[in-house]
Amino acid sequence: MVSLALENLSKVYPNGVVGVRRVDLDVQAGEFIALVGPSGCGKTTTLRMVAGFEKCSAGRVLIERRDVTRLPPERRPTAMVFQDYALFPHLNVRENIAFGLRFQSRGRPSERIADLARMLRLEDVLNRQIDSLSGGQRQRVALARALSVEPSILLLDEPLGALDASLRKEVQSELKILQRRLGLTFLFVTHSQAEALALSDRIVVMNAGWVEQVSTPEDLCARPTSRFVAKFVGRNLVLDADVIDRRGGEVQVETRLGTFGAKGELRSGNAALSINLDRIDIAGVANRREVEANYNSLEARVVTSCTVAGRISLSLGLADGSEIRVDRRADRFDTGALEAGASVKLTWKIEDATLVTA
């Protein structure tokens, strides 16, 4: 069932600046959706229009098939966790969680608070003041307060941004477990591609107010549809390309580094070739093999090589003077053959190279 539908959703500010441009998106019940993109791309504005904190200039917001476009935030079946948590410092943890329940007549508030405290490991801090809590505890209080009203959709605006790196990873795991346990629809804004890839069922990539691509994390990395997405995800080598041959869903393209096979078809516009760096195989002089028919190949030279904690990180120089960086398990290679200055051959399957819009 569709939990959230955005139809031609747009936002134009009074000064004429366009924040969001005709966004269409269907979110299934229980999906974890991440909105990503550079600053100013429209992802937070989209989230705020779903919440009702920002008015739409055009289009509709439907939640469980009900048009809520003109409803105020308190009449929508949503709850929001803000980037700064927006907790009330003059209230203790229990009182913060209970705040939203003041506007609900159903159920027993004390039982609901106790259930959320157990779920989010807040039982021991219910009577403490907010300023005495750690960052992770504050984040869980904000989640508990949002969940207390039993929303159909939980909206999260950079909820992990204030946490340090180690705590952030821990809370990421907790957030995913919580979402699966509750079966709630999550709409999540983040600046971190890694966070989106780790947490979400699908990722919405936005740029200058437009939706560039909506895909699973796997497809986003392996099959970007535009140069912007390929560069934004950061796991692709992107080259300008001229199509010189087409055979079914396979194409031959000419690039500054040579001629390669790829998958994909462009209806219009200039082309670029996106090569998934995670799928590139690296062979030193001693263990090179003949390149199979369904593979591409490219000569490179090791610029730097560093092995740490069982992984080898390589900076590889290409014929045009550019460099790419790859990271692999060290036990897959003769690391002695991958020292600075060594010549290597890079190979990848044709299906791991995608024709994208330039």
Position 40 scores a pLDDT of 93
Q: Which of 4-8, 12-16, 162-166, 318-322 is predicted with the least confidence, judged by mean pLDDT?
A: 162-166
CATH topology of domain 2-218: Rossmann fold (3.40.50)
Q: Cα(54)–Cα(11) distance, rounded to whole angstroms?
A: 9
Tokens of 48: 């705020």
Position 289 scores a pLDDT of 53
**What are the backbone angles phi and psi of residue 251, rounded to the nearest 5°?**
-130, 155
pLDDT-derived band at 323 (thresholds 50, 70, 90) equals very high
Residues of the chain with CATH 3.40.50.300: 2-218
Position 268 scores a pLDDT of 64
β-strand partners of 348: 296
**What are the backbone angles phi and psi of residue 258, rounded to the nearest 5°?**
135, -170
CA torsion sign for 111, 116, 117, 121 is: positive
The H or E element containing residue 271 is strand 271-276
Cα three-residue angle 274-277-281, rounded to 5 degrees? 120
Average pLDDT for residues 143-164, to the nearest whole number? 87
Q: For the domain 236-358, what is the CATH code?
A: 2.40.50.100
Position 292 scores a pLDDT of 63
Average pLDDT for residues 200-218, to the nearest whole number? 96
Position 285 scores a pLDDT of 43
Q: Return all residues near 33 (Cβ < 8 A) that are at least 6 apart.
A: 25, 27, 185, 186, 187, 188, 200, 201, 202, 203, 204
**Which of 21-25, 130-134, 338-342 is predicted most confidently?**
21-25
Three-class SS of residue 340?
A: coil
Q: Count Cβ atoms below 10 Å from residue 353 Cβ, excluding itself.
A: 26
Residues in the chain: 358
pLDDT above 50: residue 210: yes
Name the residue with higher pLDDT: 33 or 310: 33
Average pLDDT for residues 83-112, to the nearest whole number? 82
pLDDT above 60: residue 290: no
pLDDT-derived band at 31 (thresholds 50, 70, 90) equals very high
Residues of the chain with CATH 2.40.50.100: 236-358
Name the residue with higher pLDDT: 160 or 93: 93
In the block, residue with structure tokens 């159920």: 107
Position 286 scores a pLDDT of 42
Query: Cα separations (Å) of 210 from 56, 310, 338?
Result: 15, 41, 42
Name the residue with higher pLDDT: 337 or 268: 337
The per-residue pLDDT for range 223-234, each reduced to its tens digit, is 899 999 999 987
CA torsion angle for 111, 115, 116, 117 (degrees, to 10)?
100
Q: Count Cβ atoms below 10 Å from residue 115 Cβ, excluding itself.
A: 13
Q: Which of 13-27, 54-68, 214-228 is predicted with the least confidence, judged by mean pLDDT?
A: 214-228
Q: Cα(290)–Cα(297) distance, rounded to whole angstroms?
A: 10
pLDDT above 80: residue 349: yes
Of the candidates 241, 215, 216, 214, the residue with the CA atom closest to the CA atom of residue 227: 241
pLDDT-derived band at 103 (thresholds 50, 70, 90) equals low
pLDDT above 90: residue 36: yes
Average pLDDT for residues 279-304, to the nearest whole number? 76
Contact criterion met (CB below 8 Å) for 326 and 316: yes
The CA R_g of the chain, rounded to the nearest whole Å, is 24
pLDDT above 90: residue 80: yes
Position 346 scores a pLDDT of 92
Q: Where are the beta strands (DSSP E) in 180-231?
A: 185-189, 202-207, 210-215
Report the phi/psi class of residue 322: left, alpha or beta, with left for phi > 0 and alpha for psi in -120 to 50: beta
pLDDT-derived band at 1 (thresholds 50, 70, 90) equals confident
Contact criterion met (CB below 8 Å) for 276 and 326: no
Position 194 scores a pLDDT of 87
The per-residue pLDDT for range 230-251, each reduced to its tens digit, is 999 878 999 999 999 888 778 8
The per-residue pLDDT for range 173-206, each reduced to its tens digit, is 888 888 998 999 999 999 888 899 999 999 999 9
- pLDDT > 90 fraction of the chain, expressed in percent and rounded: 61
Instruction: Using CB atoms within 10 Å of the CB of residue 55, give its burial: 0 to 12 exposed, 13 to 18 middle, 19+ buried.
Output: exposed
Q: Count Cβ atoms below 10 Å from residue 141 Cβ, excluding itself.
A: 26
Contact criterion met (CB below 8 Å) for 81 and 157: yes
Average pLDDT for residues 134-152, to the nearest whole number? 90
β-strand partners of 214: 204
Q: Return all residues near 272 (Cβ < 8 A) that are at least 6 apart.
A: 227, 230, 238, 239, 240, 241, 355, 356, 357, 358
The per-residue pLDDT for range 264-275, each reduced to its tens digit, is 877 666 899 999
Contact criterion met (CB below 8 Å) for 51 and 59: no
Q: Count Cβ atoms below 10 Å from residue 88 Cβ, excluding itself.
A: 11
Share the mean pLDDT of the chain: 89
